[in-house]
Amino acid sequence: MKFLMLVTAAETVEVAPADGDPTAWVEEMERRGVREQGNRLRPVSDATSIRVRGGQTLISDGPFAETTEQIGGFDILDCADLDEAIATASLIPAAWNGAVEVRPLIELPG
């Protein structure tokens, strides 16, 4: 079963490099065959939101959601079930100073 793991945190929170470095987690999850891909995202100041209303495309700078926590990265996980996805997500350093959302993907036929 595939899951999207969204890593969120407040951009204003300072985290010591040793406490926030996901390298060991990435290497371990890839070794286990659980992590398929992922990446960090650039800051929300580089985001662009697109909406189409009444046939017009509306473009605005910044994220769509007004919130103190922003998505800082993502990973695609291939886990046996939600319990394994939760256990996997709880090991990433970002869970200790931010939040990690795990959401099942809908697998399309094809």
Q: Would you say residue 110 lies in a domain?
A: no
pLDDT of residue 82: 96
The pTM for the full model equals 0.82
Cα gap 50→110, rounded to integer Å: 28
Q: Please state, in angstroms and as integers, the Cα–Cα distance from residue 64 to each residue in 48, 60, 99, following that order.
A: 8, 8, 19
Q: Would you say residue 8 lies in a domain?
A: yes
pLDDT of residue 63: 63
pLDDT of residue 13: 75
pLDDT of residue 78: 97
Q: Would you say residue 13 lies in a domain?
A: yes
Other Cβ atoms within 10 Å of 71 Cβ, number: 16
pLDDT in tens for each of the 110 residues of the chain? 999 999 988 877 777 777 778 999 999 999 999 999 999 998 888 888 888 999 999 998 876 556 677 888 999 999 999 999 999 999 999 888 889 999 999 988 88
Tally of domains within the chain = 1
Identify the CATH number of the domain in which residue 37 sits. Answer: 3.30.70.1060
Q: Would you say residue 60 lies in a domain?
A: yes
**DSSP structural state of residue 46:** G
Q: Would you say residue 109 lies in a domain?
A: no
Decide: 72 and 40 in contact? Cβ < 8 Å: yes
Q: What residues make up the domain containing 25? A: 2-104
Q: Would you say residue 16 lies in a domain?
A: yes
